Amino acid sequence: MLYRNEKGQFLKGFIPFNKGKIDPNKHKKRLEYLKKYYKKNIEKFREKRKLRKEYHSEYRKKNRIKIRFSIKNCRNEKRKKVLDFLGGKCVRCGFTDIRALQVDHIHGGGRTEIKKYNREYVLYLLKQIESSHDDFRKKYQLLCANCNWIKKSENNEIRKH
């Protein structure tokens, strides 16, 4: 365990909630008792679990929009952190509406990265910011949607239809 040393003593500075008074044998007995109790009353537990599942699925159905919004808000907040870090405006034209700002890979290769991380992409960016501010700024910049398309066409990154 994390809070005990090799001899089983508590590490310095760690104060267990019961001050280490629980006898390990008693603890074992208690666990065994709980196991037996669980096996005996397994039907009860199953029923409770079923009820819980039903409650959750109903809650999800009823609050579908609320849940979607909270997920979206959470994602937006994280996205805003990344955008703020990169200056909050398009580096070419100075456009500031975050709805049309995109994180651009200065040296290309963005599409494969986005595909790889998909919904976790913003988290992936945040992690990179945490690990190194300078590297992140060297690798990414902010472009508005227009400038991003213009850059793509300049670099011949657009597929011809």
**Cα–Cα nearest to 139, from 147, 154, 149, 127:** 127
CB-neighbour burial class of residue 6 (10 A; exposed 0-12, middle 13-18, buried 19+): exposed
Q: Which amino acid is at 42?
A: I
Backbone dihedral region for residue 88 (phi beyond 0: left; psi -120 to 50: alpha; all else: beta): left
Applying CB under 5 A, among 80, 92, 151, 152 the residue interacting with Zn ion is: 92
Tokens of 147: 């400038």
Identify which of residues 47 and 84 has a Cβ nearer to Zn ion in the complex: 84
Shortest Cβ 14–Zn ion spacing (Å): 54
Identify which of residues 100 and 126 has a Cβ nearer to Zn ion in the complex: 100
- The answer to whether residue 122 forms part of the interface with Zn ion (CB under 5 A) is no
- The answer to whether residue 31 forms part of the interface with Zn ion (CB under 5 A) is no
Identify which of residues 99 and 160 has a Cβ nearer to Zn ion in the complex: 99
Only segment of 40-48, 95-103, 116-124, 130-138 that touches Zn ion (CB under 5 A): 95-103
- The answer to whether residue 86 forms part of the interface with Zn ion (CB under 5 A) is no
